[in-house]
Amino acid sequence: MSSRSLASRNLNFLFHRPRVISNEFTTPPFQALYSTHIVGDKPILVRDFIHSALYHPKHGYFSQRSRSVGVLERSIKFNQLEGRKAYINHLDKVYKQSDTSWFTPVELFKPWYAHGIAEAIMRTANLSVPLKIYEIGGGSGTCAKGIMDYIMLNAPARVYNSLTYTSVEISPSLAEIQKETVGEVRSHLSKFKVECRDAADRSGWRDVEQQPCWVIMLEVLDNLPHDLIYSENQVLPWKEVWVEKQQDRKTLSELYKPLQDPLIKRCVEVMELDSNQSVSKVSSIWSKVFPKPRRCWLPTGCLKLLEVLHDALPKMSLIASDFSYLPDVSIPGERAPLVSTKKDGRSSDYKSYLEAKGDADIFFPTDFSLLERMDHYCSGWLKPHQNKSSKQGKKRRTLVLDTSSFMEEFGLPSKTRTKDGYNPLLDDFKNTKFYLSVPTHNIK
């Protein structure tokens, strides 16, 4: 997988930061060497290229950049700010004072963001059994501490005393920061642990966990490796995209092969489960008149992670939050990513994912409808070629909410409101959503 650092960019900053779009792909020599070193002599799948660019233990964007995920020294006092302009100015000042790439929403709105998630868990969990929480990619530990604080203060003592909170973190540097953050409250330490590993590696989960538990993934899906499929037109079948070195050994190019990778084939199956046949016929006729190439990004990293989680934690409840769309994407293809780097306080976006050389974040929008289908598919309820009329009832109950709707339901929006009524948590995060998924026994 690819866990955290798996943090998100602050959305307000994403929309309002100065943006510099490069017209040329100029990079220092050491970066070019690293980029071609990722690929080696044999072609690799796009997901493996992205994984290396983000998580290579020596050169990956997240593995060596613990400062890419910012930590605020103190919570923002929103009720002391006049309004939107004062909030933007405050953010600009914070970013200039820090060498961090971004602050996550859970950091910007601490402790209230984490408290909203904790309240959602408290309302839904069976508190008669010990509460087990897993967080995939815990960033700086702010979410873990906020949730544990909330449970300590608002739940019965027995719930807090029997709580276990496990962070599954791929970055060793972030794992250490998490321990320090949570350790600010001494009583949390006996209930919290960090497992520095890849959450999508089934062997790390050991035996199947038969007890109910919660899994939290905040801004994780956007940084999971994706694959890319390509077709010369709307009629011809998909081909999987590989990355290879060109003859000069310094630049990279794409190679197209027939679909053969099992993970890609499963993801395509799930993607096409809900296809409308009548729409497909119209599209097919239109494509013969106006043929054009197709490119589609597949969340294969998400599918692999969900397969592992459902196998290891069959009674898990899931809370995930991420981007539902991204602005100013110039890379072609459905669900295409932003590839963004930051230097001297200014952000710039590459026009090709092949330009990511360990110096750039690669983050994708989440198709929440597809996420729901993958969730049901991995839980064993939704299978390809299954007669829809034979479905016996959902194994999972799912809900997609805008961030503002989620926080109005479970959080305390008054805590992030400025003097004039402007609320950045509710007003600025229009391109993020929450996905909630809980098991149900509604199977007849």
pLDDT digits (tens, 9 = 90+) for 115-171: 999 999 999 999 999 999 999 999 899 999 999 999 999 999 999 999 999 999 988
What is the spatial distance between Cα 369 and Cα 367, in angstroms, rounded to a whole number?
6
Higher pLDDT, 18 or 370: 370
Q: For 40-67, how does the pLDDT look when each residue is reduced to its tens digit (9 = 90+)?
A: 778 999 999 999 998 887 778 876 565 5
User: How far is it, in rounded angstroms, from Cα 224 to Cα 80?
Assistant: 37
Mean pLDDT over the full length of the chain: 84
- pLDDT on residue 68: 57
Which structure tokens are listed for 39? 């690929």
Q: How many CB atoms lie within 10 A of CB 22?
A: 13
What single-letter amino acid sits at 28? P
Q: What is the pLDDT of residue 169?
A: 92
- Please calculate the CA angle 362-368-371 and round it to the nearest 5 degrees: 85
Mean pLDDT of 387-406: 76
Q: What is the end-to-end Cα distance of the chain in Å, rounded?
A: 35
Residue 14 has pLDDT above 60, yes or no: no
Summarize pLDDT for 227-276 with one digit per residue, the tens.
Answer: 999 999 888 899 999 999 887 767 899 999 999 999 999 999 999 886 55
Domains of the chain: 44-273+285-383+400-438 (3.40.50.12710)
Over residues 304-327, mean pLDDT: 96
Rounding to the nearest 10 degrees, give the CA dihedral for residues 41, 42, 43, 46.
Answer: -90
Helix H or strand E encompassing 106: helix 105-108
* CB neighbour list of residue 236: distance below 8 Å, 6 or more residues apart: none
Cis peptide before 111, with omega less than 30 degrees from 0? yes
For tokens 């409808």, name the residue: 369
What is the reported pTM? Answer: 0.86
Alpha helices in 209-299 (DSSP H): 262-271, 277-289
- In which element (H, E) is residue 213 found? strand 213-218
